[in-house]
Amino acid sequence: MKITLAQINYHVGNFEKNSNLIIDAIRKAKNDKSDLIIFSELSLTGYPPHDLLEHRDFIEKCNDYIDLVARECRGITAIIGAPSINRKSSGKKLYNTAYLLNEGKIRDQINKSLLPTYDIFDEYRYFEPSTDFKVIDLKGKKLAITICEDLWDEQGFENEFSSSRMYSVSPMKELAKLKPDIIINISASPFAYNKTENKLRIFTDKAARYKLPVLMVNQVGANTDLIFEGNSMVIGPGGNIIDMFPAFDEHIASYELSDITDSQSDFKYQPDRIEMIYSALVLGLKDYFDKMNFPSAILGLSGGIDSAVCLCIAVKALGAQKVRALLLPSMYSSENSVEDAVDLSNKLGVRYDIINIESSYRVIIDSLSEVMKGTSPDVTEENIQARLRSLLLMSLSNKFGNILLNTSNKSETAVGYSTLYGDMAGSISVLGDVYKTDIYKLADHINKDLNIIPQSIIDKAPSAELRPDQKDTDSLPDYEVLDSLLYQYIEMQKPVSEIKGHNITRDLVKKIINQINRNEFKRYQAPPILRISSKAFGIGRRMPLVGIY
């Protein structure tokens, strides 16, 4: 039996495009004499469709497209992912389903049993969990078809304080009783640089445990904040990785089942963390612009490292012709900030303009003088500069259709070291899930081949340049210390008493956590953030605003 795996970049809700991609792949697989082609979870709708699933016409339209795809399945069987209607008298309206299509129609349906409902996942919001388990006979082989989380039954929690497993059901244990010959898993498993090893182990362990080959097909590409790395896998019954699909790229390949069963090859996947993050951000940004049909991007280039790295990523993702920079110096900008920004723009071949904000700033301050009589300068005047910059950036955005990129990093977003409606503005945050210390590593990575980012940008002490001689370290600890503390609190959810490390005192922990929590109201209004970690700010982290903690 010949089996094709199709790792494809789907666009949420775009049935026309998704079905075309699926049908093209089916036709090619048929030409290759493949018996079975496998697509990823919710491939027809794209993942995640969110509350579109609550709209009846969305589901009806989806059903029409399933029929359309099914009509292509003659002489070949396809497994595609899509929601299906729950026809029972009770339970959630839908199932998260793997459709088995052949002979021009829907032959069978397998419904997802374990519904991830944590972090960025909301599946129990829409889907009824399946409690039926069956295998599918195809050409004399029994297929155990599972949907993503169905194979993740043994995962624990980030932060364990009670039960050690999230699920009390093990779909594969049930399916094993039915003596399958092969395990298929259709996934939509988003990228997180600190989850890669864990993900590999989940699948290789299952193969080894049940002594069965595992074919895992993952979605690739980004839908808004979520980036899917692909990395679909063919695993032998010994738990050996026979083939792994590329990360962050579409790919289709076919395998003889007997080759999989016999192969002794064992691929070791040891990706470079920073390279992964870089590729993820490039794809995430590219897909955001492609799928939103945005023509071009703009960003404020300050001469600092965050906007420099962001510009390099934007140029890689969109091309220099589709990116423009705006330099917005004030009386507090250091001389070489403008020089460095111009230098970088020229090296990248990006159009830049310079608007000095000083005269506008002075008139605004003047118009406020009556109301603010008797007060002293404070953070207000700093925020006016930041908001004036975003006003000017948004003006160009409105006038020319350049979409504003937000260049804030995760460290400053965490502690609220940023101005709401000022440097927090933007259609998408490119670096909001990247800690400052990793921004430097990204800069090194970018400079490895071509020395694009001027060394003076990398070397200068981080500063918002909103008052004379301001430095980030005036109010924050060193970023090495801060980032370690933040990671332990945000990603690892450690209690205060367990957050430790070089120069991390109990007082500092309390102060920083307090700062993180006090700034929830700012992050509530932040743009979507390209997610590269297991816990990004945004829909995956839901902290109360009104809350004492």
Active-site residue set = 41, 112, 148
Nearer to its own copies, 258 or 380 (CB): 380
Specify the DSSP element, H or E, that contains 241.
Answer: strand 241-244
Determine which residue in the list 23, 85, 208, 342 makes contact with its own copies, applying CB under 8 A.
85
Write out the binding residues for its own copies, residues 431-470 only, by CB under 8 A: none
Q: Does 159 bind its own copies (CB under 8 A)?
A: yes
Nearest residue to 136 (alpha-carbon basis) of 97, 188, 96: 97
Q: Are the CB atoms for 493 and 196 separated by under 8 Å?
A: no
Candidate list 23, 68, 208, 355; residue touching its own copies; CB under 8 A: 355
Decide whether 76 or 299 has the Cβ nearer to its own copies: 299
User: Does 320 help bind its own copies (rule: CB under 8 A)?
Assistant: no
What CA–CA distances, in Å, run from 281 to 275, 288, 312, 402, 532? 10, 10, 11, 19, 8
Say whether residue 395 binds its own copies (CB under 8 A). Answer: yes
Residue 398 CB, nearest distance to its own copies (Å)?
4
**The binder of its own copies chosen from 103, 137, 163, 319 (CB under 8 A):** 163
| 48 binding its own copies? (CB under 8 A) | yes
Contacts of 399 (CB under 8 A, 6+ apart): none
CA–CA separation, 526 vs 240, rounded Å? 43
Estimate the crossing angle of helix 273-292 against helix 305-318, to 10 degrees. Answer: 60
Could you tell me the smallest distance in angstroms from the CB atom of residue 302 to its own copies? 17
Find how far residue 81's CA is from the centre of its chain.
20
Binding status of residue 270 toward its own copies by CB under 8 A: no
> Residue 386, SS3?
helix
- Report the nearest approach of its own copies to the CB of residue 253 (Å): 27
The CA-based angle 159-161-166, given to 5 degrees, is: 70
Number of residues near its own copies (by CB under 8 A): 108
Strands (DSSP E) contained in 20-66 are 36-38
Q: What is the Rg, in whole angstroms, of the alpha carbon atoms belonging to the chain?
A: 26
CB 405 within 8 A of CB 282: no
Give the residue with the Cβ less far from its own copies, 8 or 59. 59
Q: Which is nearer to its own copies, 309 or 539 (CB)?
A: 539
Q: What is the DSSP letter of 119?
A: T
| Binding of residue 544 to its own copies (CB under 8 A) | yes
Residue nearer to its own copies on the CB measure, 287 or 472: 287
x/- track of binding to its own copies for residues 117-146 (CB under 8 A): xx---x-xx--x------------------
Q: Which residue's CB is nearer to its own copies, number 450 or number 545?
A: 545
Of 372-391, binders to its own copies (CB under 8 A) are 372, 375, 378-380, 383-384, 387-388, 390-391
Instruction: Please identify which residue in 74, 86, 141, 200 interacts with its own copies, judged by CB under 8 A.
Output: 86
SS3 label, residue 278 = helix
- Segment contacting its own copies by CB under 8 A, of 22-30, 196-204, 273-281, 493-501: 493-501
Residue 166 engages its own copies in binding (rule: CB under 8 A)? yes
Give the interface segment with its own copies, choosing from 86-94, 182-190, 248-256, 455-463 (CB under 8 A): 86-94
Q: Which residues pair with 110 in a beta bridge?
A: 98
Q: Is 532 in the site for its own copies (CB under 8 A)?
A: no
Can you read off the two tokens belonging to residue 82? 């899509």
- Taking the least distance from each CB to its own copies, the nearer of 204 and 360 is 360
- Beta strands, E only, 348-390: 351-354
Is the separation of the CB atoms in 530 and 281 below 8 Å?
yes
Assess contact for 482 and 476: CB atoms under 8 A: yes
